[in-house]
Amino acid sequence: MLTQYLFYFLSFLAIFSALLVVFSKNPVQSVLSLIVTFFAIAGHYVLLNAQFLAAVHVIVYAGAIMVLFLFVIMLLNLNEDSEPQKPGWIKFAATITGGLLMVVMIAALRSAAEMPAPQKVDASIGMIKNLGHVLFTDFALPFEISSLLFLVAMVGAVMLGKKEIHNP
């Protein structure tokens, strides 16, 4: 009962702050709203008994990535005046893309209505012991491949950040 109320509250918070991200004029406010959204989603993870995922979500997204976003916005000092006016064709393209996304969403929701009732799953699947076990046995290969991907991304970032040495 309590979890249901919590679910509705978190969903409302998530959607409301997600809308704020899009509609607020001030970029810093957008970022802060996005952080609230992440917290609401982390709350959903906790409700689903995936505490590890919730903690990592907060640490990685709210604690690290959004800090970097804020960094850039604060350093560039973006505000309403410096927002460039988009040309007409971009607005047109955005409308079409948005419409397509809506079609896809409607299709997805329609099929969701015919979905069978959710199966009872093991409640402790999100606990860190089980998660670690699954990651290192059944999903060892994708796990390692994704770590490789991160390594490549990291090397790429360092390469981009490095000063070019000009040969005389």
Partner 1 sequence: MLAVLIYKLILVFAILGISLVVAMYSTYAERKVAAFMQDRLGPNRAGPFGLLQPLADGVKMFMKEEIIPSVSNQTLFIIGPCIAMTTSLMTSAVIPWSSDLSINGTSYPLQVTDVNIGILYLFGVVSIGVYGIMIGGWASNNKFSLLGALRASSQMISYEIAMGLAIIALVMMTGTLSLREIVEQQPGGHWNILYQPIGFIIFIVCAFAECNRTPFDLAECETELVGGYHTEYSSMKLGFYLFAEYVNMFISSAIISTLYFGGYNFPFMHELGLSPNMLALLGGLVFFAKIFFFIFFFMWIRWTIPRFRYDQLMNLGWKGLLPIALGNIALTGLVMWLTGKIN
Segment 77 to 116, residues that bind partner 1, using CB under 8 A: none
Rounded CA Rg of the chain: 21
Cβ atoms of 45 and 56 within 8 Å: the answer is no
Q: Contact with partner 1 (CB under 8 A): which of 6, 7, 11, 52?
A: 52
Taking CB under 8 A as the rule, does residue 20 contact partner 1? Answer: no
**Phi, psi dihedrals of residue 68, rounded to the nearest 5°:** -65, -40
Sole window of 27-35, 85-93, 102-110, 113-121 interacting with partner 1 (rule: CB under 8 A): 27-35
Sole window of 51-59, 81-89, 90-98, 147-155 interacting with partner 1 (rule: CB under 8 A): 51-59
Q: Tell me how long the chain is.
A: 168
Cβ atoms of 56 and 32 within 8 Å: the answer is no
Taking CB under 8 A as the rule, does residue 34 contact partner 1? Answer: no
Binding-site size, partner 1 (CB under 8 A): 20
Question: Tokens at residue 101, please?
Answer: 């996304």
Tell me how crowded residue 38 is: count the other CB atoms within 10 A of its CB.
20
Q: Name the residues that contact partner 1, by CB under 8 A.
A: 28, 32, 35, 51-52, 55-56, 58-59, 62-64, 67-68, 70-71, 74-75, 127-128
